[in-house]
Structure 1
Amino acid sequence: MSERPVGGQPESGPAGRRRAGRRPGSADTRGQILAAARETFSEKGFDKATIRSIARQAGVDPALVHHYFASKEGMFVAAMELPVNPDIVIPMITSGPREEVGERLTRFVLTMTSSAEARQPVLALARTAMTNDRMATMIREFVAHAILDRVAEALRIPPLRMDAAFAQLFGVVLMRYVVKLEPLASVDIEELVELLAPTIQRYLDGPR
């Protein structure tokens, strides 16, 4: 992919001079933006961080941020090295029969965390959040507003039920991979899906 700002030309001032403080794309521009994103998300949380504030921190034009990342959610995923992009996952969970959403959600969470490489950043963030209030706020805002609230709204699920379903699944992930409780830690994913999906579906099928 070409390392250029969207639109093809750098921002310029009088006499064709580039405006101070706004760099064009370079070999490390994406890395500079991600470093600025990590700092901004950490300081302001997910909700208050903006594309413009991250661009300002990186010293680039906001259009260049959009050139590399389609959304704030996508930038957060890349900055935190998460294995899940809400723009991809949410349609996958919400599409299909309503009575099977519990199974889709359960299979997604368990499959996504089955890879050590994928779950490592998730568990690392969870551990950090337990002792760092800023990190806890950032993760809470991202999980709630970028994922759970959007699924709940699309399927008309009360937020409390959506949160409870996710909390149970994440608890299973922690017991499976952090505590390594047997036989939960070694049982096949499909067996877990068969066991858990009906319960998750009951959470989601409450009064709407």
Structure 2
Amino acid sequence: MSDKEEGSRPTKRTGRRPGGADTRGAVLEAARTEFAARGYEKASMRGIARLAGVDAALLHHYFGSKEQLFLAALDFPVEPATVVGLILAGDRAEVGERTARFVLTMWEQPEVRDRLLAVLRTVVGSEQIAELLRGFVVRELVTRLAAALEVEQPELRVELVLAQIIGLAVARYVIAAEPIASADAEDLVPLLAPTLQRYLAG
């Protein structure tokens, strides 16, 4: 091979990966790896960026925050901040009904339900994912909501609400236990609301 031919051979570029669809996929894969290895608390945007071979600023451009990146990596369709805002908005005397209606409306949307059920099945089958999701839920939902509730044992009460909702989801959408599986969502709201009201408002 001549010197001219040798010199015309393209050189392999090194450095950080540019933006693009493949870059977003690489970031999500790196995020899943980093979150699984370190947990939600200890994983960092900088560490995920380093693993993906991109600049940390690109993560903020795509996802905005670690919370948003986690939701995207887990394909989780509900933002905790939205849930907290909805529960705390309005009259506290109606918080139980507001929460029950929001939960049932959300689960009745097929595309949201499918993604939530996928997460639920993954959590049940993997202790590692379960631990990761616990850390995320405690930090982004339980702690935020409990801090605004004027009741005794607020963290415990919020987690009891979550237990109630998860139990309902399993019975209605996973096990399909009758008559709860075929009951109209509007009929379930007034039955579920008083229990959630007692947990959230005392």
TM-score normalised according to structure 2 size: 0.85
Structure having greater relative contact order (Cα 8 Å, sep ≥ 6) = 2
**Counterpart in the other structure of 1:97:** 91
Greater CA deviation, 136-145 or 121-130? Answer: 121-130
Aligned to 2:10: none
Which 5+ residue runs of structure 2 have no aligned equivalent? 1-12
Runs of at least 5 residues in structure 1 that lack an aligned partner in the other structure: 1-18
RMSD, aligned α-carbons? 1.8
Q: Deviations over 1:51-89 (max 9, x none)?
A: 111111111111110001121111111111111012333
User: Are 2:132 and 1:142 aligned?
Assistant: no
Determine if the alignment matches structure 1 residue 79 to structure 2 residue 35.
no
TM normalised by structure 1 equals 0.83
Residues 1-208 of structure 1 correspond to what in structure 2 (within 5 A)? 21-157=15-151, 158-206=154-202
Deviation at 1:42, TM superposition (A): 1.9
Q: Which moved more, 1:144-153 or 1:118-127?
A: 118-127
**C-alpha distance in structure 2 between counterparts of 1:54 and 1:175, whole Å:** 37
Q: 1:145 is matched by which residue type in structure 2?
A: R
The higher radius of gyration belongs to 2
Shift of 1:20: 5.5
Per-residue deviation, residues 81-140 of structure 1 (Å, max 9, x unmatched): 111012333212211111222122212222211123212232222223223221110111
* Structure (1/2) with the larger helix percentage: 2
Kindly provide the amino acid, as one letter, of the partner of residue 61 in structure 2: H
Asked if structure 2 preserves the Cα contact closer than 8 Å seen for 1:112 and 1:118, the reply is yes
1:153-177 per-position Cα deviation (integer Å, ceiling 9, x unaligned): 1234510011111111110111000
For the residues of structure 1 that align with 2:142 and 2:97, how far apart are their CA atoms?
Answer: 16
The answer as to whether partners of 1:110 and 1:173 remain within 8 angstroms in 2 is no
User: How many residues matched?
Assistant: 188
Q: 1:46 to 1:156 in 2, by over 3 A?
A: farther
C-alpha distance in 2 between matches for 1:120 and 1:48:
29
Letter in 1 for 2:74: M
Q: Work out the CA distance in 1 between the residues paired with 2:14 and 2:150.
A: 48
Q: Secondary structure at the match of 2:125?
A: coil
